[in-house]
Amino acid sequence: MKLRKVTAASATAFVLALTATACGGGGSDSGSGGDKITIGIKFDQPGLGLKTPDGSYTGFDVDVAKYVAKELGYDEADIEWRETPSADRENALERGDVDFIAATYSITDERKEKVDFAGPYLLAHQDLLVRADENVTKGEDLNGKKLCSVAGSTSAQNVKDDFAPKANLQETGTYSECLDGLASGAVDALTTDDSILAGYAAQEQYKGKFKLAGLELSNENYGIGVKKGETELLDDINAALEKMVSEKAWDKAVEDNFGPANYENEPAPKIGDIVQ
């Protein structure tokens, strides 16, 4: 895989080549311009991976991906963003559609059989989003309440199975529908990863209306997925993630994307430290 644009050695060689050309005349332009890197993200998750109406991309995953790409030698203009829905992430890597994926991609033993993971770069938890004036301190508080999540999600079923068997589970096509229901009072809580919930709650139209319950119902270790066997790329991404943390760029990305939701994030995880 050709994931390199400018290293110290290649930059020196390029300067020498330019000098030789200037002195001797002739020669072709062999610069590295034009190289691209394709990164898989979500397009529909505010605060994490969102394609905006003007065609730009925002979110924590996007900021992490940009930083990693920069450390790999790619400018932001060299990035080709590719939407990678959850169900297609492994296939996208196997087909070579993307070079790596940063898309709320939880590291699991089952997934590690198909892809390799750098990171983790964020420890999230399944949680509940409730109205700001609601007092929910444990999963059992949802018994008799209306709990919303997207159709096919395991999050809501986990709450119903493990914490609140008498919750009234309502499934919708999108999280936005759940948010509308939460705002109107039609539902009492929305459940998925706390990072995703924080991203939605941080949107301008929802600021101050919702809050995270802070229940930590599960551990979700977000990693960057790469094609199985891409060891060198994996090492380079891990080095980039460590640098992002040490330079405090990770903290800035958290504040920029989740700050308005008062998201009490976990500290940046250590590479390879998977919390069960």
Query: Other C-beta atoms within 10 Å of 33: how many?
Result: 8
Buried b (16+ CB within 10 A) or exposed e, 11-21: eeeeeeeeeee
Integer Cα distance of 202 and 192 in angstroms? 15
Integer Cα distance of 74 and 35 in angstroms? 8
The pLDDT, as a whole number, for residue 5 is: 55
CATH architecture of the domain formed by 125-218: 3-Layer(aba) Sandwich (3.40)
Integer Cα distance of 213 and 68 in angstroms? 32
Model pLDDT for residues 60-85, shown as the tens digit of each residue: 999 999 999 999 999 999 999 999 98
Task: Give the least confident one: 17-26, 88-97, 136-145.
Answer: 17-26
Say whether 125-218 and 36-124+220-261 share the same fold. yes
Written as six digits, the tokens of 203 are: 């949107």
DSSP annotation of 274 reads -
**Average pLDDT along the chain:** 87
Whether the predicted pLDDT of 30 surpasses 70: no
Written as six digits, the tokens of 148 are: 């919303």
Q: Is 271 left (phi over 0), alpha (psi -120 to 50) or beta?
A: beta
Written as six digits, the tokens of 174 are: 């999108």
Integer Cα distance of 163 and 217 in angstroms? 9
The pLDDT, as a whole number, for residue 174 is: 82
The residue with greater pLDDT, 59 or 263, is 59
Element (H, E) at 122: strand 115-131
The pLDDT, as a whole number, for residue 275 is: 96
The pLDDT, as a whole number, for residue 34 is: 55
The pLDDT, as a whole number, for residue 82 is: 98
Whether the predicted pLDDT of 93 surpasses 90: yes
Whether the predicted pLDDT of 114 surpasses 90: yes
**Mean of the pLDDT values across residues 30-40?**
70
The pLDDT, as a whole number, for residue 16 is: 43
Whether the predicted pLDDT of 152 surpasses 70: no
**Mean of the pLDDT values across residues 109-121?**
96
Return the percentage of the chain with pLDDT > 90, whole number: 69
The closest of 216, 215, 196 to 261, measured between CA atoms, is 196
What's the CA angle centered on 37, arms 196 and 63, to 5 degrees? 30
Model pLDDT for residues 226-266, shown as the tens digit of each residue: 999 999 999 999 999 999 999 999 999 999 998 877 788 99
- Sorted by where each begins, the domain ranges of the chain are 36-124+220-261, 125-218
The residue with greater pLDDT, 21 or 73, is 73
Which CATH number fits the domain 36-124+220-261, given the four candidates 3.40.50.2300, 3.40.50.1820, 1.10.287.1260, 3.40.190.10?
3.40.190.10
Integer Cα distance of 27 and 19 in angstroms? 11
Integer Cα distance of 125 and 25 in angstroms? 61
Query: Other C-beta atoms within 10 Å of 108: how many?
Result: 13
